[in-house]
Structure 1
Amino acid sequence: MSDVALVALGGGTGSLLRWGVGKLFPSSGRGGIPWSTVFINITGAFAIGYLSVLFSVEWHDRYGSFLKSAVLTGLLGGYTTFSTMELDAAKISRVGFAGKAALYLVVQVAVGVAAAGLGAALAHAG
């Protein structure tokens, strides 16, 4: 199977998984924190940190094999959602909570980096 097909299959699966997980979290309402996006991005960051070490993937070589194409680029790329996080922040800001929107972005990125690092550390330890 070609890498393109693997990425498409993984991406579609990841997007469906994101949609399903998102349905588990109730809407937080106007100006509220979109917890589904937070959960998805943090768990995705952890998974990609863990699996990158487990699969011995270097940052400059993450597109070639089945595991890299289908799982890391496709599945986890389709599952995580940086653009939705940015849109959520814009919506929070637009309704008058600019400080909350900035904090939402900063905290989510910091926790995501920590989650990826934790995933990588656990994979190294295992």
Structure 2
Amino acid sequence: MTPLDLAWVCLGGGLGSLLRWWVGRMVGERYHGDLPVSTLLINVSGAFVIGYLSVRLGVDWRDRYSTAVMAGLLTGGLGGYTTFSTMQLDAATLTRQAPGRAVSYLVISIGAGLAAAALGAALAHVSG
């Protein structure tokens, strides 16, 4: 790892986190329902983008840190944007309120995330 690699990851992570905060805030101001929709939307959209870009950039999961674009955009940017830990916290909070809703939220989050990543990858294959 070089100092430039570190700089790209930090820059991408900061921008991705800022985007996550902004999307979460915008959704939270408009939606006041029973499920953490902002976290779901962030993680599913991030899964779609990383699925698409991974195919377009020819990323192998064993070597996704090799270039500045991969380090800054995929690891930093999308890593900062998506949030597994917040999804887990949301589920834990829901468990105290409504255990069935927590399980549904996790199933929907994981299923939709997998589908979004696969759709992004498929779209990348079709488009070029």
- The TM-score bracket by the shorter chain reads over 0.9
Give the number of equivalent residue pairs: 123
Q: Which residue of the partner structure matches residue 28 of structure 1?
A: 32
Structure 1 residues 5-45: Cα deviation after superposition (integer angstroms, max 9, x where no partner): 1100000000000000011112636xx10111011000000
Distance 2:38 2:70 in 1: 25
TM-score w.r.t. length of structure 2: 0.92
Q: Which residue of the partner structure matches residue 55 of structure 2?
A: 53
Q: Which runs of 5+ in 1 are unaligned?
A: none
TM-score w.r.t. length of structure 1: 0.94
Letter in 1 for 2:70: K
Q: Which residue of the partner structure matches residue 107 of structure 2?
A: 106
Fraction of identical pairs, as percent: 56
Greater share of helix: 2
Q: Which 4+ stretches in 1 moved above 3 angstroms?
A: none
Q: CA shift at 1:109, angstroms?
A: 0.3
Q: Which runs of 5+ in 2 are unaligned?
A: none
Question: Which of the numbers 4, 28, 50 marks the counterpart of 1:2?
Answer: 4
Distance 1:67 1:4 in 2: 12
Q: CA shift at 1:47, angstroms?
A: 0.1
Distance 1:35 1:28 in 2: 9
Distance 2:63 2:37 in 1: 32
Distance 1:33 1:3 in 2: 37
